[in-house]
Amino acid sequence: MLNDTLEFGVTSRNLPALGTEPYRGQQPWGMLVQQTAISGGTLVLTGNTASWVLDAAKKLEALGKLPAGWDSYGGLPLDSNAKMLTVSVLGWLGRNDLPVPAVVLGSAGTVQLEWRAKGKELEVELGKDNAVEFVKVYPNGDVEEGEEKANLPQRLRGLTRWLLYD
Amino acid sequence: MPDPLPEFECPPLNEVVIGVQFEPLKEFHAAHLGLYWSQIRHRYPFTEEQPPLAPQVEPPEVTARVPAISFQSGAFIPRSWFLDATKNELIQLQNDRFLRNWRQIEGTEAYPRFPLLIKRFEEEWESFLVFLNDQGLGRPSVNQCELIYINHLEPGSGWNDYSELEKVFTTLRTPGGSGFLPAPELLNWESRYKLPEERGRLHVQLQPVFRARDFKLILSFNLTARGSPEKNTEDEIFAWFHLAHEWVVKGFDQLTEPTMHQLWNKKQC
């Protein structure tokens, strides 16, 4: 899952003040929902938006400018579904105090977000089929992989809870 | 003869929403969403399901808002989107809302202009009324109308960062280097204006957004007119929309700078 990717700035700075922002606002709907009459396609940034979201958006903005073949091996530009899913993920997790993720572009046009905290690492790959593949790396080096296709907001919050608190 | 409205050949419009809210149709069930789709599917071949929108009413006097928890009795009825083949246009339907959106998908689509969009809304609304009548659901009692214009302002088009917003807006001047404060990290701005004769309000909102289609950090400049028609008749409903359109367009014109108007090819009257 993690092969053929372009690292775009690894950082684990801005480690969170743990426990300050519990996981609130459970989203009962699975995917890409709109709570307003506007049909969407944007993530609104407010005074409550965590700094890591803004930093991640800036990294993604730079990634979004890469043309096809960016990796010299025919790497595809970002897939439109992957873009929409990525923006949704930032929205679902935007009130949680996560570190700034490393943002990585996969050669299939997917987006990877990688967080590191408390000796653990969480990588999620956001693909064109609206599925999320994840890798959890434990402090002792054990690796757990999986895929989520439903209830993504809750599943992703569960993964970040593992990273920050478990 | 009223003043002609300002007209821009290349406005930064990304989305327009025209919609009505009505008293909930008591006998409207989820199955009716499918039945309605079967009648328009040849024109709107795609569908998506969304959570229902909460009722929204523009009061004559705004009172303090308190957090509210709403409980729904009875079965849950979602909001359905019915999208045309291009996905640029869609109808949104739930048991107390009927909306029609035009939006950009690629970012290059030309704005079809208000006269065409309001005509299409009127045709679809009348067709929906026929559907309701055929199903024995009665005529909806419209209590609110809404017109929303979403403009996307991209850095590099007349401005570069938050320190240069006075180049875009007539009412905004942000710090930017020469004074004590740096340029803002984020910026949100809201204002509201009363429509004449208590016919509602125009809400203006500026907010930073991260756009999915091209991963760009931009500003969304939203103008929302909301209010109630004087009577629940087609004439009054569409008279309200024309008033709302006038306020949205003249408001946009007055709140933005002439130098930006040149970029958007404002027509000389």
Spell out which residues of chain B touch residue A44, defining contact as CB-CB under 8 Å.
Answer: 207-209, 220
Record: contact B50-A29, CB cut-off 8 A: yes
**A36-40, A101-105, B29-33: least confidently modelled range:** A36-40
The beta-carbon neighbor of B220 closest among A28, A33, A42 is A42
Average confidence score pLDDT of chain B: 93
Record: contact B101-A86, CB cut-off 8 A: no
Whether the model clears a pTM of 0.90, i.e. scores above it, the answer is: no
Please give the pLDDT value at position A64.
Answer: 82
Structural domain containing residue A104: 3-164
Please give the pLDDT value at position B79.
Answer: 94
Query: For residue range A107-153, what is the model confidence (pLDDT) as tens digits?
Result: 888 999 999 999 999 999 998 788 899 999 999 999 999 999 888 99
Spell out which residues of chain A touch residue B53, defining contact as CB-CB under 8 Å.
Answer: 35-37
The beta-carbon neighbor of A39 closest among B15, B51, B217 is B15
Residue A26 pLDDT class (50, 70, 90 cuts): very low
Provide the token pair at B66: 């308190």
Distance (Å) from the C-alpha of residue A44 to the closest C-alpha of chain B?
A: 4
Spell out which residues of chain A touch residue B67, defining contact as CB-CB under 8 Å.
Answer: none
Query: For residue range B229-252, what is the model confidence (pLDDT) as tens digits?
Result: 999 899 999 999 999 999 999 999
Domain parsing of chain B, residue ranges = 13-53+77-263
Cα–Cα distance for residue pair B38/B131, rounded to 1 Å: 11
Chain A interface, mutation test: which of B215, B224, B226, most A Cβ atoms within 10 Å? B215
